[in-house]
Chain A
Amino acid sequence: MKANWIGAALLVGALAAHAQESVYMPIVIEVSGNGAVSGTNFRDGALMAIDEINAKGGILKHKINAPVSDTQSNPGISRAQVQKAIDGNPYVILGPVFSGSVKVNMVLAQQAEIPQMTGAEAAEITQMGNDYIFRTSFGQQMSMPKMAAFVANGMKAKSVAFLWVNNDYGKGGRDVFFKEMAARGIKIAADVSTESGQVDFAADIVKMKASNADVMFIYTNEEECARVLREARKQGVKQPIIGETNVISQKVIDLAGETAEGAKGHVGLTADAPIPAVQAFTEKFQKRYKYVPDHNGIKGYTAVYAVKYATEKLGKFDRKALAKSLHGMTITPAQEPGILIETTWDAHGDIDRISFLVEVVKGRQKVVEILPKLGK
């Protein structure tokens, strides 16, 4: 009888020790719906980083426990999923990617003082006074000026036809880009709004073509980008097609096939970056998941390593201290190899790092120019 009690006590002790040895970092992400392409890339990148870190003993000897919940690309469901995650007392929340979802759920994480590493890019997300939101890629206020400079100086365009998706991401990008175009005296020849999940772009491309703009700028989500590219080639569009991140992402290239050839644009992150650490990441990712990651895969991966580095620097799990320390922090690959590229977070949680101008050549992104960090 006594032996049984001792055994039970040991078991409870072991379970308690096991519980203490894990840190809860739920992934709230778009596994289905219109954001599935972005979300699954982010999730897979994050899970790969988590497995690597856990295999080496975790963060401060705590294994990462990261269950995945699906927002279904729906802001309302994402809010419920973040609330559910908060009920589990997480250290950090990873995701989501869709700006519309992040805008409605980040307030919950902020109120609970939980740092949130998001893949969202809408400009206003980091301009709402939230000290707990951190980007894993450029916001539109960082990327669109680079794109505008490319249109003006690289493409030498005098007019642009702009196709955008009518959600927080698309509208945010459109507003920043139009401001940049006005500042440079470049005419917006067509302003074409489309819907998230739209499948037929025939009429939209007709409008774009009729504008006779020098270039066509496509700014929508991945699947829609692929459909737009297919339709544009179907209608014999001759103008150069450009975009920021999505239209030249690997997933779009895979979906659009040969119709993506020649598309150009700016990407904050690319699996084809001529950087050995990124190439090693791409190889590992491809071996594990059997597909080439896009920028969202790198976002998820580096987000986890950023949390690891900042936490180990703190020497303790302290959410408030983590959020405070990430503001203004620069992480170099020498300090934390998993960060892949030197990255800085500013006082708002916006990110700064080098970026790339790319062109789609033979089904892959070909980097044609590396742009420096804005802070340099």
Chain B
Amino acid sequence: MGFVLLWQTSQTINFAQGEFVMLPAFFVLAAMKFGGLSFPLALVVGMLVSLIVLGVLFKRLVVDPILRHGVLPLVISTLGLAIVFKEGVKEFYAAEAQSFPSPWGSASLQIAGAAVSVQSLAIIAVAIVTVGLLQWFLHGTRTGRQMQATAQNPTLARVLGIPVERMILYTFLVNAALVALASFLVSPIYLAKFTNGELLGLAAFVAAIVGGFNQVRGAIAGGVLLGVIDNFVAAYWSAQYRAAIPLFLLIAVILWRPQGLLGRAEERTV
């Protein structure tokens, strides 16, 4: 969703998105380790720092100065930023994986003979609530509609009196909040490690392309589809080929439906 939002409002393809998901977990761990904060308080601090660093500072220091030179320099810059974040965590925090507390423990429930973990249910619930809130914000509020107008036609939006720059900043803040939330949900399972972004970034990028890079619902559908296929392939076919399947899917979509499964074809003057 973050990929799509940034692309829609500011034509930013953020190849550091995976590292953006990796980093907030370390903000939380640092707040607990160096600040002596409790886990809930550290989560709040982690979210705030993410909003500042991955939202405001990312836009002001990286995107704004570079985007005027075109999309390609920005893509290269975000690739560089990914390396900086990764090596920074490795150098200044740890090269080893770190345990990240789970707010839901490791209990599981028996549902129709299957063991379903409370953690998985909580993650699904948080994801559904987040998507619902985001959809409501984008479609049901004045600010959300202004953000959509900015995404569709920034020049016309500016003529209509919409504060385009502020709307773009809001998008970066929404993206920062989403990556922080993803980080807090996934780190108890994956453990917090500086390399986590490589896998997550690739998976999110492929999911956004498969679903449709210009539709939030497309990105969501792409993510769900990719996750289900990945796990079914690993469980019932071959764990060795699981990493290749999303890439096959990506190639197939690019060849036969380049706008993505739920995306719409766009025409641009180049």
A258 to B235, CA, bound (A): 26
A230 to B96, CA, bound (A): 17
A54 to B222, CA, bound (A): 59
A251 to B242, CA, bound (A): 28
Is there contact, CB below 8 Å, between A37 and B239? no
CB-CB under 8 A from B196, the residues of chain A are 199
Is there contact, CB below 8 Å, between A234 and B120? yes
Closest CB-CB distance, B188 to chain A, in whole Å? Answer: 8
Check: A375 CB closer than 8 A to any chain B CB: no
Is there contact, CB below 8 Å, between A236 and B190? no
CB-CB under 8 A from B90, the residues of chain A are 32
Is there contact, CB below 8 Å, between A202 and B231? yes
A33 to B194, CA, bound (A): 9
CB-CB under 8 A from A199, the residues of chain B are 189-191, 196, 199
Check: B97 CB closer than 8 A to any chain A CB: yes
Check: B99 CB closer than 8 A to any chain A CB: yes
Is there contact, CB below 8 Å, between B235 and A223? no
Closest CB-CB distance, A262 to chain B, in whole Å? Answer: 12
A305 to B155, CA, bound (A): 73
- Give the number of chain A interface residues (Cβ < 8 Å): 35
Closest CB-CB distance, A297 to chain B, in whole Å? Answer: 13
Whether A226 contacts B240 in the complex (CB less than 8 A), given A36-B95, A37-B97, A204-B234, comes out as no
Whether A255 contacts B191 in the complex (CB less than 8 A), given A202-B231, A226-B97, A236-B108, comes out as yes
Closest CB-CB distance, A98 to chain B, in whole Å? Answer: 14
Is there contact, CB below 8 Å, between A32 and B95? yes
A86 to B87, CA, bound (A): 28
A194 to B238, CA, bound (A): 10
Closest CB-CB distance, A292 to chain B, in whole Å? Answer: 13
Closest CB-CB distance, B46 to chain A, in whole Å? Answer: 19
CB-CB under 8 A from A202, the residues of chain B are 231, 234
Check: B195 CB closer than 8 A to any chain A CB: yes
Check: B106 CB closer than 8 A to any chain A CB: yes
A226 to B99, CA, bound (A): 9
CB-CB under 8 A from A85, the residues of chain B are none
Is there contact, CB below 8 Å, between B99 and A255? yes
A36 to B98, CA, bound (A): 12
A64 to B95, CA, bound (A): 26
A31 to B239, CA, bound (A): 28
Residue from A40, A197, A207, A255 within 8 A of B195 (CB atoms): A197
Is there contact, CB below 8 Å, between A203 and B95? no
Whether A227 contacts B189 in the complex (CB less than 8 A), given A193-B240, A234-B120, comes out as yes
Check: A235 CB closer than 8 A to any chain B CB: yes
Main secondary structure of the interface of A (DSSP, over half): helix
Is there contact, CB below 8 Å, between A257 and B115? no
Interface residues in B169-222 by Cβ distance below 8 A to A read 188-191, 193, 195-196, 199
Is there contact, CB below 8 Å, between A234 and B106? yes
Closest CB-CB distance, A263 to chain B, in whole Å? Answer: 13
Residue from B97, B115, B230, B239 within 8 A of A236 (CB atoms): B115
Instruction: Name the residue on B nearest A73 (C-beta).
Output: B95
Interface centre among A234, A236, A256 (most CB of B within 10 A): A234
A197 to B115, CA, bound (A): 26
Interface centre among B110, B190, B199 (most CB of A within 10 A): B190
A257 to B233, CA, bound (A): 29
Check: B11 CB closer than 8 A to any chain A CB: no
Interface centre among B191, B193, B233 (most CB of A within 10 A): B191
Check: B117 CB closer than 8 A to any chain A CB: yes
Residue from B96, B110, B232 within 8 A of A223 (CB atoms): B96
Interface residues in B234-263 by Cβ distance below 8 A to A read 234-235, 239-240, 242-243
A231 to B186, CA, bound (A): 12
**Residues 48-59 of chain A, each 1 if its beta carbon lies under 8 Å from chain B, else 0:** 000000000000
Check: A259 CB closer than 8 A to any chain B CB: yes
Closest CB-CB distance, A371 to chain B, in whole Å? Answer: 30
Check: B119 CB closer than 8 A to any chain A CB: yes
Interface residues in B94-132 by Cβ distance below 8 A to A read 95-99, 105-106, 108, 110, 115, 117, 119-120
Is there contact, CB below 8 Å, between A31 and B120? no
CB-CB under 8 A from A226, the residues of chain B are 97, 99, 191
**Residues 73-98 of chain B, each 1 if its beta carbon lies under 8 Å from chain A, else 0:** 00000000000000000100001111
Residue from B119, B190, B193 within 8 A of A200 (CB atoms): B190
In order of increasing CB-CB distance, the 3 nearest A-B pairs are A236-B115, A203-B234, A203-B235
Query: Which B residues lie at the A interface, using CB under 8 A?
Result: 90, 95-99, 105-106, 108, 110, 115, 117, 119-120, 188-191, 193, 195-196, 199, 230-235, 239-240, 242-243
Query: Which A residues lie at the B interface, using CB under 8 A?
Result: 31-33, 36-37, 40, 166, 192-195, 197, 199-200, 202-204, 206-207, 223, 226-227, 230-231, 233-236, 251, 254-259
A-B contact pairs, 16 of them (CB 8 A): A36-B95, A40-B95, A194-B239, A199-B190, A200-B231, A203-B233, A203-B242, A227-B190, A230-B106, A233-B106, A234-B189, A236-B115, A251-B96, A255-B191, A257-B99, A258-B106
- Given A200-B230, A202-B234, A236-B117, 12 new contacts (CB under 8 A): A31-B95, A32-B90, A36-B96, A200-B190, A200-B231, A203-B231, A227-B191, A231-B189, A251-B96, A255-B99, A255-B191, A258-B106
